[in-house]
Structure 1
Amino acid sequence: MVKVGIIGSTGYAGVEIVRLLTQHKDVEIVWFGSRSYVEEKYSNVFRNMFNIVNAECLDDNMEELADQVDVIFTATPQGFCGSVVNEGILNKVKIIDLSADFRIKDVETYEKWYGIKHQSPQFIDEAVYGLCEINRDKIKDARIVANPGCYTTCSILSIYPLVKEGLIEPKSIIVDAKSGTSGAGRGAKVPNLFCEVNENIKAYGVTTHRHTPEIEEQLGYAAGEEVMINFTPHLVPMQRGILVTAYADLKKKVTYEEVKAVYDKYYGNEYFIRVLDKDVCPETRWVEGSNFVDVNFKIDERTGRIIMMGALDNLIKGAAGAAVQNFNILFGFEENEGLKQVPMFP
């Protein structure tokens, strides 16, 4: 059994990690870290865990936790993991960090977009970006895995094959994305109250959203050149889900069959990425509660552009499920262990 500790276990992503790992046959969760609920019974915080998790919440002492487990999940805000990780801890455990602390390789870019100083830049180069379908060979030997952002995962996986194969102009990409309210976290914020969100849709973080440089950096690696995008996220009145609709100029005229072959080349053997049938658009309801990503595309011959689409559950494939997928790769388990849940409907 692999011993696991979770810091930030009482956030939305944290409780999803707990839910998924309780279904994993090779895991023992020994530490439920939570700064907000120290010494409170975990099942009192989340009643869905009644008679499933009987432990109490502990603090977020990573030094102490590192002596008790094999891997630590940090489902924490930006800045936490970077402020506490050190060489001694990394010599004892592997870390799967769900924040942005180790996603972006350029420290100045991270500090500019997140508005905080990075406390452990010495570990950035060795951290592996944990988008499993693209980086699994690097992930298996990592000490730190930087779990991708939710918007980022959906955007990159929708666009990646066409960037990688050079079919689209990399500086023409526009990403329009929509997310449920759980993407903003569990903390109390006025803009996320029911009366503020219900019966409403709004753009936010226009030209400034923090996932922008993450998407640009990863697509830049695929393109072999700098990528600059327009990324506009929207908040919609639902609990879960991300829908991405991305647009780009085609470099040449292509047929449906040619583009479909490109997607199948990269995703044909991927368990969690489903390339949909022709003319079927991804919908969030068909991936809810699962680690699946549905992707598809439509060629606009009139404008010479292509529309790339993707849908996922932001709390699972966009956070906790991807973290468990990374965990499976790190410890040599089947990649879909604990993650075979069929999407929920209705």
Structure 2
Amino acid sequence: MKVGIVGASGYSGLELIRMLNMHPIIDGLNFYALTSNANDISDIYPHLKSIVKGPIQKWVADQSINENHIIFLATPHGVSSEIVMNISDENVKIIDLSGDFRLKEEQKYNKWYKSNHPCFSKTSNFTYGLAEWNKEEIKTSNFIANPGCYPTASILAIAPLLKENLIVENSIIIDAKSGISGAGKGSNEVTHFTNRNDNFAAYKIHDHQHIPEIEQFLSMINPKENYITFTPHLAPMTRGIMATVYSTAREMITNEELQELYKEMYKDSYFIRIRDSIPCTKDVYGSNLCDIYPAFDERTNRITVISVIDNLIKGAAGQAIQNMNIMLGLPEETGLTFTPIFP
């Protein structure tokens, strides 16, 4: 199979290249940008020298689609929708890593992404690609909206409690920390070394675009779940996300019962590990794994769930390949069975 990557020179695009180059059924990668770029990908990133090569071509919708069996859009929001707007072939398989096709209400997209969507009517064609919860829908879909990194860690942590109706509605508080790579490749004041080194900062309080994405999916599990409190932070590390999720329990539950609940819920999920000790981001660094640890606090009647992922892999490129595998009828772990990197 031949695979096209639009936005191959970004961080998520680079992870797609690294993993797809090792994938057993992929025998060709094509790289694209919206403007002409004669550079070979290995000239831009010397770490790919003698391993991966190919020019970054200008994206031309019909021509580029015909060159590939599947397309990954590793582009910022606003860019993916411009590309999809000009695609008329509904048989092409597209996995979009941006936020352009995740939200199902146009007004919410305009509000939270602070821009107008050029082809919102096409959103209905896209399946939300959270594989552990939407696998059957993904199998029959040609268009996948890959979840955001924060929503992936957060939803996987809290969804089992909602499904079993164990928590009070609208009591969810998500305290999440991300590595700097989540801000993307572009250099700015936020990612500047002097502002991030030895520093820890909250940002976009009550205003992050992943809030409605998390709320949308949780309300599908429980229609009474209308809102969450979500606070993201930037940690002085390159990659990784830790989501600490708090909620109020409806009744007493033991830690042993929580462990059994989560293990049963995710027993068929290759990439979910239910831990009996508190995980850290290094435990999943460089992998498509999500480690989860639930615990009940009898004193406060709250359940705390720790969830850790690599934001560039399970939170982006790895999950996109997991979705590709499911779309193609392959075992979801195909090409993704590498272990975390430690130390």
- TM-score normalised by the chain length of structure 1: 0.96
CA contact (8 A) 2:61 2:87 kept: no
1:177 maps to amino acid: A
> How many angstroms does 1:139 deviate by?
0.5
Q: Does 1:157 align with 2:156?
A: yes
Partner of 1:264: 263
**Structure 2 Cα separation of the partners of residues 265 and 224 of structure 1:** 23
**Structure 2 Cα separation of the partners of residues 102 and 225 of structure 1:** 24
Structure 2 unaligned residues grouped into runs of 5+:
none
> How many angstroms does 1:111 deviate by?
0.9
> What secondary structure sits across from 1:217 in the alignment?
helix
CA contact (8 A) 1:66 1:72 kept: yes
CA contact (8 A) 1:207 1:232 kept: yes
> What count of residue pairs does the alignment treat as equivalent?
343
Listed as ranges, the matches of 1:90-101 within 5 Å are 90-101=89-100
> How many angstroms does 1:91 deviate by?
2.7
**Structure 2 Cα separation of the partners of residues 35 and 88 of structure 1:** 14
CA contact (8 A) 1:66 1:92 kept: no
Query: 1:287 aligned to 284, 288, 291, which one?
Result: 284
**Structure 1 Cα separation of the partners of residues 101 and 303 of structure 2:** 32
> How many angstroms does 1:92 deviate by?
4.2
CA contact (8 A) 1:176 1:233 kept: yes
> What secondary structure sits across from 1:58 in the alignment?
strand
Partner of 2:147: 148
User: Which stretches of structure 1, 4 residues or longer, exceed 6 Å deviation after superposition?
Assistant: none
Cα RMSD between the aligned structures? Answer: 1.4
> How many angstroms does 1:30 deviate by?
3.6
Partner of 1:306: 303
**Structure 1 Cα separation of the partners of residues 213 and 161 of structure 2:** 18
> How many angstroms does 1:67 deviate by?
1.4
For residues 259-291 of structure 1, give each alpha carbon's deviation from its aligned partner in whole angstroms, at most 9, with x where no partner exists: 2222112112211000001xx112000100000
> How many angstroms does 1:37 deviate by?
7.3
Q: Which moved more, 1:179-188 or 1:83-92?
A: 83-92
**Structure 2 Cα separation of the partners of residues 124 and 160 of structure 1:** 23
CA contact (8 A) 2:166 2:251 kept: yes
Listed as ranges, the matches of 1:62-73 within 5 Å are 62-73=61-72
Partner of 1:208: 207
For residues 190-225 of structure 1, give each alpha carbon's deviation from its aligned partner in whole angstroms, at most 9, with x where no partner exists: 220111100000000101011000011111111232
1:284 maps to amino acid: T
**Structure 1 Cα separation of the partners of residues 88 and 331 of structure 2:** 26
Query: 2:331 aligned to 334, 337, 342, which one?
Result: 334
Partner of 1:84: 83
**Structure 2 Cα separation of the partners of residues 190 and 63 of structure 1:** 38
Q: Which moved more, 1:21-30 or 1:65-74?
A: 21-30
> How many angstroms does 1:62 deviate by?
3.0
Listed as ranges, the matches of 1:158-237 within 5 Å are 158-237=157-236
CA contact (8 A) 1:67 1:92 kept: no
Listed as ranges, the matches of 1:38-117 within 5 Å are 38-86=37-85, 88-117=87-116
> How many angstroms does 1:35 deviate by?
4.3
Q: Does 1:324 align with 2:321?
A: yes
CA contact (8 A) 2:41 2:56 kept: yes
For residues 21-60 of structure 1, give each alpha carbon's deviation from its aligned partner in whole angstroms, at most 9, with x where no partner exists: 0010101334111347711011111112111112111123
> How many angstroms does 1:256 deviate by?
1.8
For residues 80-119 of structure 1, give each alpha carbon's deviation from its aligned partner in whole angstroms, at most 9, with x where no partner exists: 1212214854334111000011111111111110011111
Q: Which moved more, 1:65-74 or 1:82-91?
A: 82-91
**Structure 2 Cα separation of the partners of residues 72 and 317 of structure 1:** 18
CA contact (8 A) 2:258 2:295 kept: no
2:286 maps to amino acid: G
> What secondary structure sits across from 2:318 in the alignment?
helix
> What secondary structure sits across from 2:220 in the alignment?
helix
CA contact (8 A) 2:85 2:118 kept: no
Q: Which moved more, 1:81-90 or 1:232-241?
A: 81-90
Q: Which moved more, 1:55-64 or 1:336-345?
A: 55-64
- Seen in structure 2, the aligned counterparts of structure 1 residues 344 and 30 have a Cα distance that, compared at 3 Å, is closer
2:199 maps to amino acid: N
- TM-score normalised by the chain length of structure 2: 0.97
CA contact (8 A) 1:98 1:148 kept: yes
**Structure 2 Cα separation of the partners of residues 96 and 242 of structure 1:** 22
Residue identity over aligned pairs, in percent, reads: 43
1:314 maps to amino acid: N
